[in-house]
């Protein structure tokens, strides 16, 4: 982003054409930072909870003193691992991730493993291809067939759409596979609205047809694919008729899809994150990935699997998935023992030592993690809670002390990406409001008060000056051969950047081949060595108590629980609603605009209905990220359940009923 500051205020945000992936500039949310940076709702001083439950401003000295007294008391009583250090996916960055260094100096802490976002797909990809990397974003323009599978790029990856458009203008076909008719689907030549959670079955059925019709790349398979013979025999039972019955897609649609996949090359599959939020989704992603392998659509321009690009995650543990798995080799300091997907339940069950203190930073776990009720219970059970936040979120409202957070314009950092291959400098362009300190300064102040070793503290965290921060960043970047001066000049391609991933057909798996057969899948996750499909854990039953499938996708108007509080966004998306197909509404005597209860045994939401003729009947949809205070925290309905691999969260394995309120 190129930002213009006038008189200490942000006045304009534009694109940076040097970043070839995002030249058009920001979406609505990016533009809304003009409002957000100076929002009157921002927390601009520490807040202390009062006996009556309200918050009152307090000084930094008092806030640090209060927190330090609690930390010392609870560490003495239970040891340092009584502290839960929880971070989410709010602003990321090389420096922004420095908190763990503080907690190590404190003596240790407890933290989470897994992730809310993408791990089932990451692990499926790693098992199959050996690494999570993909062709350059703009390479998509060379595809002749683009399959947007459970991905709504028009809302969640807006910068991908110009590449899709240009490919399409050059004659490419576009397929969308999604239970909802999304904005992305408006571009599609073919939309397959399958039953949620059945993607694995569809993929195995497509494999069946590709093998049956000889639409496979024998030369590629012989040299580079492990387990094809076993796979070809396993897909034998996945006939179009059986797959149609499972997916609720017409046989003709399945045949048409297979015809496209088998005959149009090069093909890129762009799988999203939505379809890997099920208990069966790692295996489903492996089944989908097999389609690239058997058609030879890997390691070629315009071809491949565009899921996640970790090329720029040069300083994140996600690079090494082993890091995200429990049990972590015990270093006696950090206990990595809570499943992010089961945060509430695991907080309540933790013993030896029990959790008594939480520090939350860059995340809003109460509405965003599964099973909101349990997460609230987990937080309320603690003796003391600190939340570092820009706004009074649902999680901040549970705190004993809220510390104000700087925003991304107020401290220099280096950032990577999920999808594009650039590392970028994010220089400080605004002074934080007078009462706001960046996390580094919060930790330094707390460290001094706790009597942590000055030298160690100084080695772990930079000082407040720009020079100190730049030295710190430079030291971290040096091993990568990147300098701050280079980054100052503009976006820098990651040293790991490849225009075409897996070019030369080198796959860093144990066998060096694409592994349709993976011994590690069985050994690590207890799933079959070959891709397979089984029903998701929670299946809506027609005629049962909870017959509807609830989807909680992302929206162009927010990033998860962020931005919804701004006027700019409110104008576009004033209030939450539940989308329902008129057929399902009529069966419940519900009219457009009626207030309904959306509920299951875990919770209930009361929302107005909006008809959506483009939704697959049997599904309802509420975008995730609304706050409890807005009455639409969707995770009141979900259960803390992990995906079959990678310790992701199976948000979409979730059945509900809808009734007039
Ligand atoms: N505007 C905006 N952009 C974002 C975000 C945001 O909050 N707002 N969040 C960012 C983050 S952290 C993430 S993880 C990504 C996520 O972005 P996406 O990958 O697009 O993920 P979702 O929106 O969760 O789901 C995408 C689609 O999957 C569909 N879907 C649900 N269940 C199934 C299924 O069983 N099968 C199939 N085939 N499709 C299914 C949903 O209907 C939805 O349209 O977006 C990123 N970009
Ligand atoms: N039901 C359902 N639930 C979902 C999903 C879904 O599809 N369905 N999607 C999941 C996914 S993919 C994700 S990634 C998660 C996201 O969930 P979270 O990781 O909790 O992320 P956000 O909701 O974006 O909240 C981030 C918070 O960090 C704060 N913040 C931003 N920058 C900073 C900073 O520099 N310092 C500090 N201290 N705070 C900062 C913001 O104000 C914001 O309140 O939600 C997950 N939850
Ligand atoms: Mo995410």
Ligand with an atom nearest the CA of residue 176 = 1
Residue 236 gets which letter from DSSP? G
Ligand with an atom nearest the CA of residue 367 = 2
Task: Please write the tens of the pLDDT for every residue from 147-184.
Answer: 999 999 999 999 999 999 999 999 999 999 999 999 99
Distance 320 CA to ligand 2 centre (A): 22
Q: pTM of the prediction? A: 0.97
Q: What is the DSSP string of 75-141?
A: HHHH-GGGEEEEE-SSS--TTTTTHHHHHHHHT-EEEEES-SSSHHHHHHHHHHHSS-----GGGGG
Atom of ligand 1 nearest to the CA of 184: 44
Distance 272 CA to ligand 3 centre (A): 10
Distance 120 CA to ligand 1 centre (A): 14
Going from the C-alpha of 110 to that of each of 85, 107, 307, 434, the distances in angstroms are 6, 11, 31, 32
Nearest 10 degrees: Cα torsion 536, 542, 545, 551: 50
pLDDT at position 332, please? 83
Residue nearest to atom 15 of ligand 1 (CA): 156
Maximum CA extent, the chain: 73
The more confident residue out of 323 and 21 is: 21
Q: Which of 485, 371, 357 has its CA nearest to residue 69? A: 357
Task: Please write the tens of the pLDDT for every residue from 432-477.
Answer: 999 999 999 999 999 999 999 999 999 999 999 999 999 999 999 9
- The pair of structure tokens assigned to 372 is 């909101």
| Mutate which of 156, 175, 193, 581 for ligand 1 pocket (most atoms within 8 A of beta carbon) | 156
Strand intervals (E) in 453-495: 492-493
Residue nearest to atom 45 of ligand 1 (CA): 156
Distance 105 CA to ligand 3 centre (A): 30
Residue nearest to atom 14 of ligand 2 (CA): 117
Atom of ligand 2 nearest to the CA of 365: 20
| Mutate which of 274, 306, 419, 624 for ligand 1 pocket (most atoms within 8 A of beta carbon) | 274
- Band of pLDDT at residue 317, cut at 50, 70 and 90: low
pLDDT at position 324, please? 55
> Residue 422's beta-bridge partner residues?
493
- Measured at the CA of 191, the angle between CA 185 and CA 193, to 5 degrees, comes to 105
pLDDT at position 325, please? 62
Q: Whats the size of the chain, residue-wise?
A: 661
The structural domains of the chain, ordered by start, are: 2-114+339-493 (3.40.50.740), 120-310+502-525 (3.40.228.10), 548-660 (2.40.40.20)
Ligand 1 surroundings by CB, under 6 angstroms: 89, 117-118, 149-152, 155-157, 177-180, 182, 196-197, 199, 272-275, 551, 553-556, 558-560, 652
Sign of the four-CA dihedral 273, 275, 278, 282: negative
Going from the C-alpha of 564 to that of each of 27, 183, 312, 455, 624, the distances in angstroms are 14, 20, 29, 42, 11
Q: Average pLDDT of 200-223?
A: 98
pLDDT at position 331, please? 72
Distance 152 CA to ligand 1 centre (A): 6
pLDDT at position 188, please? 97
- Band of pLDDT at residue 60, cut at 50, 70 and 90: very high
pLDDT at position 329, please? 55
Ligand 2 surroundings by CB, under 6 angstroms: 88-91, 96, 116-117, 273, 277, 361-365, 368, 388-391, 393, 405, 552, 559-562, 624, 634-635, 638, 651
Atom of ligand 2 nearest to the CA of 403: 38
In angstroms, the CA 146 to CA 167 distance is 9
| Mutate which of 121, 154, 273 for ligand 1 pocket (most atoms within 8 A of beta carbon) | 273
In this predicted structure, which of 7-11, 147-151, 357-361, 541-545 has the lowest mean pLDDT? 541-545
Q: Which of 473, 492, 484, 368 has its CA nearest to residue 424? A: 492
Beta carbons of 521 and 127 less than 8 angstroms apart: yes
Q: Average pLDDT of 556-581?
A: 95
Residue nearest to atom 39 of ligand 2 (CA): 362
Nearest 10 degrees: Cα torsion 266, 271, 272, 274: 150
- The pair of structure tokens assigned to 293 is 């392998």
pLDDT at position 327, please? 58
pLDDT at position 70, please? 98
pLDDT at position 319, please? 56
Strand intervals (E) in 466-589: 492-493, 514-515, 548-551, 578-580
pLDDT at position 318, please? 59
Distance 62 CA to ligand 3 centre (A): 36
Task: Please write the tens of the pLDDT for every residue from 248-263.
Answer: 999 999 999 999 999 9
Going from the C-alpha of 442 to that of each of 68, 403, 432, 471, the distances in angstroms are 12, 9, 13, 19
Atom of ligand 2 nearest to the CA of 117: 12
Q: Which of 537, 563, 499 has its CA nearest to residue 138? A: 499
Q: Average pLDDT of 601-630?
A: 97
For the chain, what percentages of helix, strand and coil (3-state, to nearest 5) are there?
Answer: 35, 20, 45
- Measured at the CA of 659, the angle between CA 655 and CA 661, to 5 degrees, comes to 130
| Mutate which of 362, 565, 629, 648 for ligand 2 pocket (most atoms within 8 A of beta carbon) | 362
| Mutate which of 39, 86, 156, 363 for ligand 2 pocket (most atoms within 8 A of beta carbon) | 363
Burial (CB count <10 Å: 0-12, 13-18, 19+), residue 275: buried
Name the residue with tokens 């097999």: 290
Q: Which of 396, 637, 450 has its CA nearest to residue 540? A: 637
Atom of ligand 2 nearest to the CA of 407: 35
pLDDT at position 254, please? 98
Beta carbons of 594 and 609 less than 8 angstroms apart: yes
Q: Between 439-449 and 60-78, two packed helices, what is the crossing angle to 10 degrees?
A: 60
Distance 116 CA to ligand 3 centre (A): 6
Distance 119 CA to ligand 3 centre (A): 10
SS3 for 154? helix
SS3 for 215? coil
Ligand with an atom nearest the CA of residue 554 = 1
Beta carbons of 653 and 536 less than 8 angstroms apart: yes
pLDDT of 615 > 90? The answer is yes
Q: Average pLDDT of 485-504?
A: 95
Beta carbons of 114 and 269 less than 8 angstroms apart: no
Distance 397 CA to ligand 1 centre (A): 28
pLDDT of 320 > 60? The answer is no
Beta carbons of 335 and 353 less than 8 angstroms apart: no
Residue nearest to atom 47 of ligand 2 (CA): 368
pLDDT at position 314, please? 73
Sign of the four-CA dihedral 301, 304, 307, 308: negative
In angstroms, the CA 323 to CA 136 distance is 26
Distance 461 CA to ligand 2 centre (A): 24
SS3 for 231? helix
pLDDT, the chain, mean: 95
Atom of ligand 1 nearest to the CA of 196: 35
Q: Average pLDDT of 596-604?
A: 97
pLDDT at position 313, please? 84
Residue 559 gets which letter from DSSP? B
Beta carbons of 336 and 115 less than 8 angstroms apart: no
- Band of pLDDT at residue 77, cut at 50, 70 and 90: very high
- The pair of structure tokens assigned to 267 is 């093909």
């Amino acid at each position: 982003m190129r930002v213009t500051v006038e008189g200490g205020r942000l006045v304009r945000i534009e694109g940076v054409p040097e970043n070839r992936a995002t030249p058009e500039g920001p979406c609505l949310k990016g533009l809304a930072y003009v409002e957000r940076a100076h929002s009157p709702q921002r927390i601009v001083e520490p807040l202390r909870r009062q006996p009556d439950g309200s918050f009152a401003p307090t000084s930094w000295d008092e806030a640090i003193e209060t927190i330090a007294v609690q930390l010392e008391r609870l560490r003495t009583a239970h040891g340092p691992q009584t502290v839960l250090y929880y971070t989410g996916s709010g602003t990321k960055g090389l420096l922004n991730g420095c908190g763990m260094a503080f907690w190590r100096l404190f003596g240790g802490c407890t933290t989470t493993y897994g992730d809310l976002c993408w791990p089932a797909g990451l692990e499926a990809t790693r098992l199959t291809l050996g690494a999570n990397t993909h062709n350059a974003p703009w390479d998509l323009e060379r595809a002749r067939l683009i399959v947007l599978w459970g991905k709504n790029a028009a809302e969640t990856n807006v910068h991908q759409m110009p590449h899709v458009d240009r490919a399409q203008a050059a004659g490419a076909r576009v397929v969308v596979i999604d239970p909802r008719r999304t904005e992305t689907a408006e571009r599609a030549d073919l939309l397959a609205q399958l039953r949620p959670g059945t993607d694995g079955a569809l993929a195995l059925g497509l494999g069946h047809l590709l093998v049956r019709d000889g639409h496979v790349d024998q030369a590629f398979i012989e040299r580079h694919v492990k387990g094809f013979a076993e796979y070809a025999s396993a897909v034998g039972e996945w006939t179009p008729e059986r797959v149609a019955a499972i997916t609720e897609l017409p046989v003709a649609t399945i045949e048409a899809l297979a015809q496209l996949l088998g005959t149009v090359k090069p093909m890129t599959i762009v799988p999203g994150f939505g379809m890997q939020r099920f208990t069966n989704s790692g295996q489903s992603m492996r089944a989908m990935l097999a389609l690239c392998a058997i058609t030879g659509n890997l390691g070629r321009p315009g071809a491949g699997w565009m899921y996640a690009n970790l090329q720029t995650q040069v300083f994140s543990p996600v690079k090494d998935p082993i890091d995200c798995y429990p049990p972590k080799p015990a270093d006696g300091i950090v206990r990595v023992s809570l499943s992010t997907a089961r945060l509430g339940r695991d907080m309540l069950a933790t013993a030896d030592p029990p959790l008594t203190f939480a520090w939350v930073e860059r995340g809003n776990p109460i509405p965003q993690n599964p099973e909101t009720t349990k997460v609230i219970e987990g937080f309320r059970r603690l003796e003391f809670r600190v939340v570092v936040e820009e706004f009074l979120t649902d999680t901040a409202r549970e705190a004993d002390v809220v510390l104000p957070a700087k925003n991304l314009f107020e401290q220099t950092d280096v950032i990577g990406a999920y999808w594009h291959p650039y590392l970028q400098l994010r220089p400080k362009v605004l002074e934080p409001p007078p009462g706001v300190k960046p996390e580094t300064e919060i930790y330094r102040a707390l460290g001094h008060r706790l009597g942590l070793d000055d030298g160690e503290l100084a080695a772990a965290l930079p000082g407040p000056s720009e020079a100190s921060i730049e030295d710190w960043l430079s030291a971290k970047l040096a091993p990568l051969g990147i300098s701050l001066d280079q980054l100052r000049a503009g976006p820098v391609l990651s040293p790991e950047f490849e225009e075409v991933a897996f070019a030369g057909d080198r796959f860093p798996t144990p066998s060096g081949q694409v592994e349709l057969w993976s011994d590690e899948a069985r050994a690590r996750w207890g799933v079959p060595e070959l891709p397979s499909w089984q029903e998701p854990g929670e299946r809506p039953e027609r005629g049962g108590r909870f017959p509807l499938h609830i989807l909680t996708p992302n929206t162009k108007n927010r990033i998860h629980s962020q931005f919804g509080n701004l006027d700019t966004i409110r104008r576009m998306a004033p209030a939450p609603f539940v989308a329902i197909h008129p057929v399902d509404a009529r069966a419940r005597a519900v009219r457009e605009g009626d207030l309904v209860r959306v509920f299951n045994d875990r919770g209930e939401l009361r929302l107005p209905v909006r008809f959506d003729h483009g939704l697959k009947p049997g599904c309802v949809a509420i975008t995730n990220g609304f706050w409890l205070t807005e009455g639409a925290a969707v995770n009141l309905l979900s259960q803390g359940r992990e995906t079959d691999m990678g310790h992701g969260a199976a948000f979409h394995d979730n059945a509900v009923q809808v009734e007039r309120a």
